[in-house]
Structure 1
Amino acid sequence: MSFVRTYTKPKIFGLVTLGALVAGALLGFLAKNSGIKWLSEALATIATIFTNLLQFTVIPLVFTAIVVGVNSLRGLGGPRTASRLGGRTLLWFAITSLIAVLIGIVIGLIVQPGSGVQVTPSKANIARIEDRPVGNWWTFLQDLVPGNFVQAFADGKILQVVFLALIVAAATYALGERAQPFVTVNQAVFDVIQKVLGWIILLAPIGVLGLIGRAFATYGNQFFQPLFSLIWTVYLGAILITFAVYPLLLRFVGKIDPRQFFAKSWNALQFAFVSRSSGATLPLSRQSAVDLGVPPGYAGFAVPLGTTTKMDGCAALYPALASVFIANLAGIQLSVLQYVGIVLVAVFGSLATAGTTGWFTMLTLTLSAINLPPEVTATGLAIVIAIDPILDMARTATNVAGQITVPVLVARQEGLLAEEEAPADDATPARV
């Protein structure tokens, strides 16, 4: 067997990627502690190139995947079936978001992160907060619709692309055979992007080495020292959701062994952790769902949709814990009504999250909903942004786990989940 075929087998590829993660962490610590500038620059360059390779495929992949996925639902039944699948998917999005935000609130009430912590935000972080648009429902609705079709793609605004894709997909679905040439073109583009991504994913171990190495070289011991109460509670919540809530739902609703779920999705979760991008992980997430038995057509609809709207880590768990943390920093005791506000924003506001900065929009929406004083909100945001990269790794991995879990649950309830098949000997990493 050739080296390439051996390397691309799921187990070998997973071990190589894990080894690259460890090596990257060690090189990052070395660069940070020894002051080797060229090593830090090399790790940052590798990380940037690999991320760019993935990111340039995200927009066309999301658009074509939704168009092809929605039209593929025709093979699963008529319009009623498609509507039922979409409705049930959104329902599970809301249910799991509710569970995640309640876990965040319970952990926050028990641990009370931020109590007794005295931290002053730096001027640089305050400036970064002032430069960011604060979450606002009217702004969100306005920004949902692009000024023109091309602008959404040119600006890389994933949520606008999703909005356009859903409209176009609905139109092509309604037109039926008359729109088939357009759907065929999208299918061809989708297949081309998938092939390119398969080649890019072969470079994942190198990319992971650069990504995790850059993080350690940049932040060093900041992974452990500052604001530790918020860091460990976010990680605790992410672990509970990913390794307790989802497995229980998979076992009792999806009727699937959680070990099978993690075996087929582990590379996606690992890559989400180091890349901090649900969009960049989309190809792995979608293929993980397919490997778990979800029909490709439905997976092509549900997973891309979940990439921008299904974020239990960024949109539910984290805003709950961060709100408690910021309130505690200011010595404010949240009321029952304020906790209810946190829950409502988490369940109904997840559509406001998109890409890698969605946490900020959701957190500002949550803080505005519970009506904390403006100076407390500004100070708290300036503090948490300093350690955001550390928190974002756990949040993104949780997001991706949920984006894979929900399609499995819906496919099982609809009787669409295929029985497990033996993996092909020459499976590529993109199918892991």
Structure 2
Amino acid sequence: MKLVATATDAPPPPARPWYHHTYVQVLAAILIGGLIGYLQPEFGVALKPLGDAFIKLVKMVIAPVIFLTIVTGIAGMRDLGRFGRVALKAFTYFLTFSTLALIIGLVVANVVQPGAGMNIDPASLDTSKVADYAAKAHETTIVGFLTHIIPTTVVSAFADGDILQVLFVSILFGIALAMVGDRGQPVTDFLEALSEAFFRLVAILMKAAPAGALGAFAFTIGKYGVGAIVKLATLVGAFYLTSALFVVVVLGAVCLANGFSIFKLIRYLRSELLLVLGTSSSEAALPSLIGKLERAGCAKPVVGLVVPAGYSFNLDGTNIYMTLAALFIAQATGVHLDLGDQLLLLGVAMLSSKGAAGVTGAGFITLAATLAVVPSVPVAGMALILGVDRFMSECRALTNFIGNAVATIVVSRWEGELDREQLNAALNGTLPAAEAPALAAAE
């Protein structure tokens, strides 16, 4: 069904006041939260529960939204060969651009040299604060990661809220339901109706987005202060600039080659991006992203597979951070890495970036896992960047989020499952008012 308005449609409802739009409210909340954290740091830190509570509210519905989207999408396909093609194309895209992000981070670190001249003795660093991250990284292996994808029970995947486990269960159940054929149609109909109810629930939860963004951002500024950025301005600036160039140049070229504009996509997803910025969590906007990409003309089965999988395997921002931060630590501690060492670092990062997927604090943990395998770079050097990691996590989350949105549209086009007219209408802002309540709340 096309969502593009026609001349016979009823007149559009009057435009809502600008201050009713979610992106305006979230932006205002971020600014207010920043001021509170700067002027009243203790009060800003005390507001942390607001951000934590909102993220918990969203995570509460992520598992069922992913399950319902994937199962109804695969069951509606019936052609399991088509599902296999989508998965192959998605993971080909993920591997290509994740590796490219790692290489770009490596190149920038060599050109900018953010840690050069610091001459820090690793023995003088306080490593107590990074010990927990190093321990978690040591526990994370490729084999352990692969076996962890399989949940203990079907229910435990949803109880723990593990995205990869939910993805695994959803795909298997969707395939099974598709194989049942017409006898499974009542189940599919029920799940589609249930999906509408959950997206209405998402709409209700999104009303709390401004409060969550305010609390999370006030805590970040109040806890760490803007002074932490000044101390390591070269590293933070290099990371933000590299991520911005990756989005505009690399992802922008991908978008251009596939017939749409990265800038229009960013504008279309502005509410979600501001929410990610305020909460430092890309998961906070995952349910809304699924709905918006479907509304923009991407096929439901493609969205259901690519978006959740991308949250674990298509971490462009995290990958840029890993190689850039690793070389910063080496430069700051006076460790010289020749081409062979850097290629080893790149290879290890390619594997460890998958091994820590879906883990809380994945960026920092993955960095620890990478450094643990490259003995020439001291893990203790991670203490240098712990103070600014929170500020860089926001950029990681934004870059990851945009990368997954681009990936979903591109894979939809490759599969011939992209409604061009609907995509253009969405990106140009000419779609009629959202029919799905969750989408209406986000616009």
Alignment of 1:224-235 (within 5 A): 224-235=229-240
Quote the Cα distance in structure 2 between the aligned partners of 1:145 and 1:177.
29
Matches for 1:97-176 after TM superposition, within 5 Å:
97-117=98-118, 118=120, 120-122=124-126, 124-129=128-133, 131-134=135-138, 135-176=140-181
* Residues 220, 58 of structure 1: alpha-carbon distance in 2 compared, 3 angstrom cutoff: same
Aligned to 2:5: none
| Amino acid in the other structure paired with 2:432 | A
Change in Cα spacing, 1:291 to 1:181, as seen in structure 2 (3 Å) is closer
The C-alpha deviation readout for 1:146-189, integer Å capped at 9, x for no partner, is 33333333233222222222222232233333444444443333
- Aligned match for 2:48, one of 37, 44, 48: 44
Query: 198-207 or 117-126, which moves further after superposition?
Result: 117-126
Instruction: Please tell me whether residue 70 in structure 1 is matched to residue 66 in structure 2.
Output: no
Q: Does the CA-based 8 Å contact 1:10-1:429 persist in structure 2?
A: no
Shift of 1:408: 0.9
Query: Which has the higher mean CA deviation after the structures are superposed, 422-431 or 92-101?
Result: 422-431
Work out which of the residue numbers 417, 424, 427 in structure 1 matches 2:432: 424
Give the counterpart letter for 1:415 in structure 2. G
Tell me, yes or no, if the aligned pair for 1:283 and 1:430 is still in contact at 8 Å.
no
1:322 maps to what in 2? 325
1:398 aligns with 2:399: yes
Q: Are 1:19 and 2:41 matched, yes or no?
A: no
Indicate yes or no: 2:264 matched with 1:260: yes
CA contact (8 A) 2:134 2:368 kept: no
What is the Cα deviation at residue 125 of structure 1?
0.7
CA distance in structure 2 between the partners assigned to 1:203 and 1:129 by the alignment = 31
Cα distance in structure 1, aligned partners of 2:181 and 2:348: 37
Contact 2:45/2:220 (8 A) holds in 1: no
Compare 235-244 and 219-228 and name the one that shifted more.
219-228
Q: What aligned pairs does 1:5-404 form with structure 2 within 5 A after superposition? A: 6=16, 12-32=21-41, 37-38=42-43, 40-41=45-46, 43-74=47-78, 78-117=79-118, 118=120, 120-122=124-126, 124-129=128-133, 131-134=135-138, 135-252=140-257, 254-314=258-318, 316-347=319-350, 350-352=353-355, 353-369=357-373, 371-373=374-376, 376-404=377-405
Distance of aligned partners of 1:137 and 1:296 in 2 relative to their CA distance in 1, 3 Å threshold: closer
Shift of 1:87: 1.0
Give the distance between the partners of 1:114 and 1:275, measured in 2 at CA: 28
- Higher deviation after alignment, 115-124 or 294-303: 115-124
C-alpha displacement at 1:343, in angstroms? 3.6
Q: One-letter code of the match for 2:93?
A: W
**1:20–1:208 Cα contact (<8 Å) kept:** yes
What amino acid sits opposite 1:205 in the alignment?
P
Provide Cα deviations, 1:376-426, integer angstroms capped at 9, x if missing partner.
Answer: 543023433332211100000000001100111122233322113332246
Quick one: distance in 2 between partners of 1:286 and 1:57? Answer: 13
Amino acid corresponding to residue 243 of structure 1 in structure 2: V
Question: Relative to 1, partners in 2 of residues 1:157 and 1:415: Cα closer, same or farther, differing over 3 Å?
Answer: closer
SS of equivalent residue, structure 2 residue 230: coil
Paired residues of 2:266 and 2:402 also in contact (CA < 8 A): no
- Aligned counterparts of 1:145 and 1:155: Cα–Cα separation in 2: 12
Letter in 2 for 1:363: L
Cα separation, 1, equivalents of 2:250 and 2:394: 19
RMSD: 2.8
For residues 68 and 29 of structure 2, what CA distance do their matches in structure 1 show?
A: 32
With normalisation by structure 2, the TM-score equals 0.85
Superposed CA deviations along residues 265-303 of structure 1, whole A, max 9, x for unmatched, are: 122222222222222221222233224321233212211
More displaced, 302-311 or 352-361? 352-361
Percent of residue pairs bearing the same amino acid type: 25
- In the TM superposition, residue 25 of structure 1 has moved relative to its aligned partner by 0.9
**What letter corresponds to residue 317 of structure 1 in structure 2?**
I
Distance 1:188 1:343, change over 3 A: farther
Distance 1:130 1:258 in 2: 37
Give the 3 Å change call, closer, same or farther, for CA 39–170 of structure 1 in structure 2. same
Q: Normalising by structure 1, what TM-score?
A: 0.87
Kept in 1: contact 2:93–2:407 (CA 8 A): yes
* Counterpart-to-counterpart distance in 2, 1:102 and 1:127: 28
Secondary structure, counterpart of 2:38 in structure 1:
helix
Between Structure 1 and Structure 2, how many residues are aligned?
417
Compared with structure 1, are the counterparts of its residues 322 and 292 closer, same or farther at alpha carbon in structure 2 (3 Å cutoff)?
same
Unaligned runs of 5+ in 2: 1-12
- How big is each residue's C-alpha offset from its partner over 1:219-256, in whole Å with a ceiling of 9 and x where there is no partner? 1124422333322222122111222221111011x201
